[in-house]
Chains A and B, each alone.
Chain A
């Protein structure tokens, strides 16, 4: 594959990498930084891309490893609520949904890293289970288990929140 073709294909994935990076890290800046680093590493290590997998899963794998590496060096966990809420509150007609989103994001932030990473791959980017498992370097059964635990944790947090919203109305 020509370099220009690969670069074009990688460019197409950048919005998805940015979204995953932002959701994973809980920070738009940190997420963009992660995505940019992943793109740079991918172009530098392009010879390591094995064609038996999709380019997207390879890029996500690189980004996830970068995230894990950085996470190890971070002393404190980033918080995400304010960032997302500020962006979403710019559309007042969706305030109820915004509040629910805020609760969801808050609940996401409380999830263990491995569960959040798994759920985001599948729910945000609709990645097949086998690819998502490959990105995270875990067996598919482990991935499904993590997704289930993440979804249940969110459900337990969101149900009361939605009930409260109804009572307020």
Chain B
């Protein structure tokens, strides 16, 4: 058979065979690829499952759960299973809205939690707050909510809020026990320190006869040290009172502007020593205030003294009282300084107990880290709010809104 005579028929056969071989090979390769992809998918899926299991286990062990509330695409919002477990709730496809979550706050903490959330909704960046919650089955637990607010581009509104919710009930109980211990110890310390203080005073007055110059110097120093110790004891007592919820609020009529001016006057010497420009302004239309003078004084003292302490020579400190524009039942306090500022990555911790910013610690190693914690706790307790703006090296401005009328509560007045 002349191969050439097979002509086109043979060529077509070869061509068809070629196509078949290619198609078969492609099919084989495709099949192999598909199998490999599926294998990979299975491996990845099993890894994801394993990670999810590990995460769920970690959440159970650590008593926390993670959340995302996406306000642009609510279907992207989610809670990890442990949050539902913490709150004795049945898991849902889309989590409850923030307001429904905040409704689990126990009555005494609800207003504060809602206020805190409202502030977070318009403040981009990290946040922390905590409150006592009541679960669906009536269990009381203390929740700490930590996270970050991510704003929509070019607005201050939240696009997304994500973070973790931790059950800190045990930690709070331990903290309370510590506070009670501190309170007891502080009270016990007051007795001997009073004796030291009064005996030193008696010596200084010459009650036991005249003193030499050197003896006078020693006694004056003893007296100063005992006064500093009493101040510290009082600060510890105030913290423990706040934490054990036994702090009394004893409201009476006061003039907030006169109080601010007297606080600033007390600290003027410190400001003068650093040649600071220290200014106070008060709006003309401030209504009379019914507040606890000691507590309000403590708020003002801490904010003003921080501004002075952390502002370098020749800087400025400015305090202003006005009516909050949105709510006329609120006094609006601004304390602005040109000081060292708060490092951005530490701003979320500013109001935490015992926390001190690294640059503040480096400048003044002696602080207790209790001042701003006390300020925020007092303001929260009376139904106000506090926030700040700060840039490291440029300065900090604190904004506080404080109700004009405070309500009486508690059984122990503020020490000092």
> Does chain A bind chain B?
no
